[in-house]
Structure 1
Amino acid sequence: MEKMPAKQYEMGSSTSTKSMQPQKFLHSKRIGHMDSFSRHEMMYDPPSMESKSMPRSSYFNSSKPWPDLESDESDMENEIDIDNLPPIEVGPHEHRLQYTYWLWFSRKGTHRATDYSKSLRVVGRCASVQQWWSLYSHLKRPTALHPYRDLSLFKQGIKPMWEDPANSKGGQWVIRLRKNQIDRAWENVCMAMLGEQFLVGDEICGVVLTTRSPECSLSVWNRTATDHASTTRIRDTLRRILNIPVSVPMEYKIHCDSLKYVAISKGPLKS
């Protein structure tokens, strides 16, 4: 697998920031890349980015307001019983996605690294193009998040954890970005996954955005690290949608290696 040096890459300039606003993106010339969506399906005009009035009942059948992800008290106030969530209904005029996706949020430092699962929270779900845009329009842009926050969009039934059965034998392509590049990259990669641009079927598990200082990272997780055809196709698709030159190496991390490191870290130190 390719290894990526510490330096960050410069995203290509062929796509302007203006064209990446949700209302503009669906109508841009790049709509042709949405392989599994018809042109009619992708002409949906998403809600206004300024609207913040959508209640969580749209996704969780709850009267609680949309959670404040940065609030120290939000973990308890907006805790959701993910094991008892009702199925997502898709209306007759909505355009169903091939898979249902859950959006997860976590704050590093809230819990110990060895207990990462306790910091994970579900903040939304989507099963159609319209539901995705409703959810997306109510989220802070990645550049507005504080450092050490993770935002993950994963297929239903898969948690953004190495230990999850769907992830334990897989890995992830990791791309390190300057903070001013992360908004556009996050939207591009999410849209590529929802639109099945990677063309690897069920092999894709999800996408993770990690905010750090001064850099951020974006990673695409897949089920099978030994499936070289799929991992190569995922890499090549990422190069295309993010305009990463072939000359820039990319890093692939195998999850079982990370799990071994965690296991060693938990054990007693040897003299």
Structure 2
Amino acid sequence: MTSADTAPVSAPAPRTPDDVPGWFWKADQEVFGWMLERQTAAGTGGDILELGTYLGRSAILLGEHLQPGESLTVCDLFDSDAPDDDNSAEMAMSYRDSLTRRAFEANYLAFHPKLPTVVQAPTSALADGRIPAGSCRFVHVDASHLYEHVAGDIQVARAALGPDGLIALDDYRSEHTPGVAAAVWEAVFDHGLQPVCLTPEKFYGTWGDAEALKRELCVRDWRGEGFRMDEETIAGRTLHRLAWEDPAKPAPGPVGRSTPRRLALDVLPPIATRALRRARHRLQG
């Protein structure tokens, strides 16, 4: 028996996906939903793949968007041993004893009648072709933060995605994950990945038609729904930045570069940004 078979489940069943521990916030929930719904409306079919699933918070949403004949595959070490010392140290620091397959399965089954395909292994195991080439329409990469692993995961995603497929890459800008940033921007400048959208936590891109996607992204009234939306140009490539704001706040200014204060919040790591905002709220209160 594996530890996934024997681990007790003591936590109460989550009532909403937000009850599931994890780092999948409002902006990314909305972008995931918008992108997946856009694909369905356009007749773009295909499976969905998640590399690194933790306790299932994002997988639950991905499962909600499966169409007939499509499947969701999640790949995670869960409570298995890491493949190398660096990855083992990363797992010990980030998750300790919280990440188990049994906990993931319990959370997922609280919202869906059956489990996705679960691959309990390093994400590098998917480089062997077990995900058919071109079979996926959406891949979420949120596993190791080590450069070598993320670079490999991006190549797994690229092979799995169809012509109009989309990739979401987590932790592309956090202070403690420079390896992710290196792998993501390497993919942009050296491997043809086209950036579409950034949130404080995730990078969204495609090896397909990024321009059409960006035009459609701008049609939705994100600002009217409480989001800030800005446009950036990086080495001739335009992309949009989306962040959730309290809709009770004054409306943001015109699309373009942020004010210095907002730009500072954008480039800080998320934990520092949240601390700065909490401090500001205390001062205003």
Give TM-score scaled by structure 2 length: 0.32
Higher helix share: 2
Larger relative CO (CA 8 A, sep 6+): 1 or 2?
1
Give TM-score scaled by structure 1 length: 0.33
